Structure 1
Amino acid sequence: MFLHVAALTAVLALVYYAVNRFGEYQKLRHIPGPFWARITHLWVIRLVLRGQYIDMMLDLHGKYGPVVVMAPDYVLLSDPAEIKKIGNVRSPWGRAPGYQSFRFSPGPAGDSILSMRDDKAHARMRAKLSSGYAGKTVDGVEQMVDRHVMQLVDIIDTKYITTPGTTYRPLDFSRLAQYLTIDVITSFAFQETFGCLEREDDFHGYLDAVSGAVAPLLSFAFLPLYPKLMDMSALGSIFPEGGFFPKVFEMARREVGKRYGEQAHELKERNDVLGTWVAAGLGQKELENETVAQLTAGGETTGTGIRAMMLYLMTSPHSYRSLQREIDEALKSGAVLRSPISDSDAAKLTYLEAVLKESLRLVAPAAFFPKSSVTDEILCGFKIPAGVSVEPAYKPALRSKEIFGEDASYFRPERWIETNEDRARLMDETFRFVFGGPSRWECLGKGLAFMQMRKVIFELYRQFDFTLVNPTRPWKAAGTRIWVIEDLWVQVTRRDQTGGPGMEIKT
């Protein structure tokens, strides 16, 4: 009898699954895309786990057009105008259920700015956090970045200079860039650095822990059941606190606890990031979640931007020479009066800014997550049923020939300088996709990211020359919805030009 019941249950489950899959297939049958993507989520999960997700976007949109099925309830959108429409504050589009996958524990108590789906709650949290990201309202943010940038320069200068014919000291710049960005973001969040640069080591095991968790976590977001589980507060008792990032959560709990525990009074007047967020009204649990969110979202993506700028410059001799020419002229003319360069001065350097934008345009650090609508909508002439997740496909959108020209797939910083005012405005609006804009979901930390990238590239190319150790395989890159980049091996030699008249050296 038991076997009969079990067999009947299995048959009914298979029938339910088949009917459900057929219903989802019917819902999106009018939208082009790969066959297997229509009937199972495993097709797209495989791309994420293999690190092929971001690169596959170009192939899929080249073959199928601006709207492509990626899973039974999930589509990609590459049309820049329609992407902007989704981000409009008055649009019916909101964050899709997949965002709940990024909670640090099940239920609303595990929410951070990364996982909140309620638009009003998200807007309130953005307003509270924005003061911490505004460097003008917080003491020492730029000075903190300066300190770490010059630490990076000093490490290269003392340990990794190659003298042709005498000393050969190759450097894995990919790893060093990771150490820099994680030290900056931990200093920003906690006023306590992980000390990765100082030791040239993943001292807390944070980077390896994050890199090991990224692909599984990002793939879980595609599974309809996982976001539902993360909406069940009752599961909190069996879910490890901090989720995939327990070491980071432990540090956050310790540092945040000082602001609410016995040390709270003596730290009350401290004008730092945590202080501004406490003053803005964040509770202790909220503050723990937000500091962890900073680290997991900000470190790897900024590191990707720095690596991309380095690689494109080393493989583009004309751009390499043009940037160093601009740096040398700025130093000789007195336009730059201190080292490291101030962020305000760096932002005025036309070619440096063009290199930054062009690099991030071609290697956008992350694939941003999907939106959905409670009503049926039309995108690029296709009906998108209510509840279907729509992900902006930024890689193909940022290579639009209509916006960036016929050579949109190639690295050419001059496109940002030679264009007219109307075209420049359109390019800038589209470039904001890199940080999730222009929309109400735009990344709060983009100013800090830009500051790091400008300063690092200026100081490195002011003092050193770089060549690739292996030009035929310059790095290992996996696109698991964010880029995970390793093994960018370079050879470094010193330049003659290291300063300018009246140069003030900051230490």
Structure 2
Amino acid sequence: MHLLVLCLLPIVLYTTTRLALLIYTTLSHPSLLSIPGPFLARFTRLWYFRRVQKGQFEWDNIDLHARYGPVVRIAPDHYSITERAAVKKVYGPGSQFAKSAWYDGWRHPDPSKMILFPERNMKKHAEARKRFSSIYSMTSLLYYEEFVDRCADIFSQRLTEFAQREESFNIGHWFQCYAFDVIGDITFGQRFGFLDQGQDVEGAINAVENLMNYSTLVGIYPEWHAALFRILSHFKSTGPTGRSFIMQYVSNRVQQFNQANHNPEQANHTKKTQSFMEKLALARDKDPEKFNDYHLVMMGTSNLTAGSDTTAVSLSSILYHVLRNPASLDQLRREIDDFTAQGRCSEHVTFKESQEMPYLQAVIKEAIRMHSATGLPLWRVVPAGGAEISGHFFPEGSVVGINTWVAHYNEEVFPDARAFRPERWIEAETNPERLRVMNEMYMPFGLGSRTCLGKHISILEISKLIPRILRDFDFQLENRTWTTKNCWFVKPTDFNVRVQLRSREN
């Protein structure tokens, strides 16, 4: 009996403390009482946990706003918002809304093992981002195109083999293999090898998947993260072991790189193609106090955990939506074929060439609007002094967030939002104010100071591959609709297609 009491005591104390805090916050700020939402969400985060666990929260979130309005309570101190004015206030330049404790689930409990994405301290994040921003910049893309071309060549070879065998296959999985191999080549100057047979090399994909599942859910109860991490680290196929695997994997790659490039005086500082490791090693050798092997491991880990899923989901979304909309596919193909005939679209489509194709860019933007990679609110903490948002005053410490899907399906900004219509972006070019409003709500890579650092690399991979495969292959959907699972990234699970070689005369 005494043992049972000892076991239950921490739970009782925790529950009592949370309830007391909830009552205090509600009584101190009665305006929060009027914020609607599911009944259980007023008292416990369990409602939100269960909905996220089901894997369809992007649609749940949209439906909640359709039912309750622009501000919805989805946990006792978590509020989902949708109005355009709130986007700039919460995420815009100069915003003091820091990332919430949900992001702690993505970091190692050991603070010395930092990666950039979950860093909540705004000053530390700004300093780290400034340190690495140049290697992710648009001007650095020139150094990475050859890596993308190498992987695109193998991807096209795999498609040709599927066409010859007349086999159905899950192209979403192969987009993941492509994105993983590209980020491996860009980061380490060496592919992982996923594209060779479509298999999970050394369990890296599985490790990232386990980490994703764990971090997404434990972030809802971040106070349990450190204890759970220690416990689950002793078991295989868990989030913590996945994180350990990734960090060790990257550390080994850095060590191999250092051994193969042990003489910095022989390094080529001017060659056209340079991997992240080469760029960072040159910076390390030039200024060891600013860069060291820790920074190589930190950025390698960030690339591996976040550098493939966003691109793979986006590639899947683009192909899926054009296959479901034949008129858009025909128009896009005409543009690609015309550019090819004019000599403005190379065998290896260059990034510059892709940027000059207006309908291609509209298709990419519209598809990623309709199916963004991330599908949970981007949670932020209300800063000191509180904030007025959408007619409600939120006290300091409240957590607010906008889900990318909610923003992208806002009917006031994107009329007929559930329709795939790339033309909306082209039409907006003649209406600067309209385009400005649309761009303010377009946030597939985040906004403000926390915009995804790898955004340009992802766009590079997408812009080069999509026109190439649509020029060279015909695709047929096996199923009219696909199924997806939202575990932070909204990934298709059954994007099955058949493929045929396409005649260039078509």
Q: TM-score, normalised by structure 1?
A: 0.87
1:285 and 1:141 map into 2 onto residues whose CA distance is 23
Q: Which residue of 2 aligns with 1:196?
A: 194
Asked if structure 1 preserves the Cα contact closer than 8 Å seen for 2:370 and 2:420, the reply is: yes
Are positions 1:329 and 2:332 aligned together?
no
Distance 1:222 1:91, change over 3 A: same
> Matches of 1:454 and 1:12 in 2, distance apart?
54
2:54 corresponds to: 50
Partner of 2:20: 19
CA distance in 1 between partners of 2:483 and 2:53 (Å): 15
Q: CA deviation digits over 1:335-390, x for unaligned, max 9?
A: 22x21110011011011101100000011101353111233111101111211121
For the 8 Å contact 2:207–2:239, the answer to whether it is kept is: no
The residue number in structure 2 matching 1:161 is 163
* 1:22 positional shift: 3.5
Q: Are 1:106 and 2:113 counterparts? A: no
Question: Which of 309, 316, 324 is residue 318 of structure 2 equivalent to?
Answer: 309
User: Does residue 90 in structure 1 map to residue 94 in structure 2?
Assistant: yes
* Counterpart position of 1:365: 373
Summarize the Cα distance change of 1:35–1:192 in structure 2 as closer, same or farther, 3 Å threshold.
same
Partner of 1:469: 478
- Counterpart amino acid of residue 354 in structure 1: A
Matched-pair contact (CA < 8 Å) for 1:37–1:43: yes
User: Aligned residue for 2:405?
Assistant: 395
**Any unmatched runs of 5+ in structure 1?**
500-507
- Does the aligned pair in 2 maintain the 1:347–1:353 contact within 8 Å? yes
Q: Is the 2:314–2:368 Cα contact (8 Å) retained in structure 1?
A: yes
Give the deviation of 1:107 after TM superposition. Answer: 3.7
Q: Secondary structure of 2:419's match?
A: coil
Contact persistence 1:48–1:215 (CA under 8 A)? no
Range 204-213 or range 220-229, more displaced: 220-229
Structure 2 residue ranges without an equivalent (≥5): 269-273, 285-289
2:39 is equivalent to residue 29 of structure 1: no
The answer on whether the counterparts of 2:52 and 2:486 sit within 8 Å (CA) in structure 1 is: yes
Structure-to-structure mapping, 1:483-494, within 5 angstroms: 483-494=490-501
Match of 1:177 in 2: 175
Q: Distance in 1 between matches of 2:477 and 2:490?
A: 20
Superposed CA deviations along residues 310-338 of structure 1, whole A, max 9, x for unmatched, are: 110111011011111111111112222x2
Question: 1:304 & 1:5 partners in 2: Cα distance?
Answer: 48
Deviation string 1:245-278 (CA, Å, 9 cap, x unpaired) is: 2332222101223566795434873543123334
Q: Who is 1:480 aligned against?
A: 487
Q: Match for 1:383 among 387, 390, 393?
A: 393
Q: Secondary structure at the match of 2:115?
A: coil
User: What residue number does 1:81 align with?
Assistant: 85
Distance in 1, matches of 2:102 and 2:10, equals 28
Any idea what SS the aligned residue of 2:467 has? Answer: helix
Q: CA deviation at 1:491?
A: 1.3
Cα contact 1:308–1:359 (8 A) shared by 2: yes
Single out whichever of 327-336 and 300-309 deviates more from structure 2. Answer: 327-336
Contact persistence 1:45–1:219 (CA under 8 A): yes
Partner residue of 1:430?
A: 441
Retained in 2: the 8 A contact 1:178–1:303?
yes
Structure 1 position 287 matched with structure 2 position 292: no
Question: Is contact 2:211–2:240 with CA below 8 Å preserved after alignment?
Answer: no
> Shift in Å at residue 74 of structure 1?
1.2
Flag the 1:320–1:117 CA change in 2: closer, same or farther, 3 A.
same
**Hey, what does 1:445 align to over in structure 2?**
454
Q: 1:30 to 1:228 in 2, by over 3 A?
A: farther
The offset of 1:200, in angstroms, is: 1.8
Q: CA deviation at 1:110?
A: 2.1
Identity of aligned residues (%): 27
Which residue matches 1:503?
none
1:2 shift after superposition: 5.1
Task: Give the total of aligned pairs.
Answer: 485
Contact residue 69 and residue 75 of structure 1 kept, 8 A: yes
Q: Give me the whole-angstrom Cα distance separating, in 2, the residues matched to 1:291 and 1:299.
A: 12
Say if 2:313 and 2:492, in contact at 8 Å, map to a contact too.
yes
- How far is 1:154 from its partner? 1.5
Matched, 1:254 2:252: yes
Select 2:74's aligned residue among 53, 70, 73: 70
Residues 418 and 6 of structure 1: CA distance in aligned 2, closer, same or farther (over 3 Å): closer
Residues 135/250 of structure 1: CA separation in 2 closer, same or farther (3 Å cut): farther
Report the CA distance shift for 1:335/1:259 in structure 2 as closer, same or farther (over 3 A): closer
> Is 1:120 aligned to residue 123 of structure 2?
yes
Structure 1 partner of 2:214: 216
The alignment's C-alpha RMSD in Å is 3.0
Q: Tell me how far 1:415 sits from its aligned partner.
A: 0.6
Matches of 2:352 and 2:315, distance apart in 1: 19
Q: What are the Cα deviations for residues 114-150 of structure 1, in whole angstroms up to 9, with x where unaligned? A: 1211212111111111122136447741111011112
Which secondary structure state, in structure 2, belongs to the residue aligned with residue 496 of structure 1? coil
Mean alpha-carbon deviation: is it higher for 362-371 or for 3-12? 3-12
Q: CA deviation at 1:394?
A: 1.6
Query: In the alignment, what sits opposite 1:505?
Result: none
> What's the secondary structure of 2:119's corresponding residue?
coil
Structure 1 residues 120 and 12: alpha-carbon distance in aligned structure 2, compared to 1, 3 A threshold = closer
1:176–1:10: structure 2 CA closer, same or farther, 3 Å change rule? closer
Q: Which residue of 2 aligns with 1:502?
A: none
Q: Which shifted more, 206-215 or 394-403? A: 206-215
Distance across 2 between alignment mates of 1:498 and 1:149: 22
C-alpha displacement of 1:41: 1.3
1:504 maps to what in 2? Answer: none
- Structure 1 position 41 matched with structure 2 position 45: yes
Q: Secondary structure at the match of 1:492?
A: strand
Task: Find the counterpart in structure 1 of residue 351 from structure 2.
Answer: 343
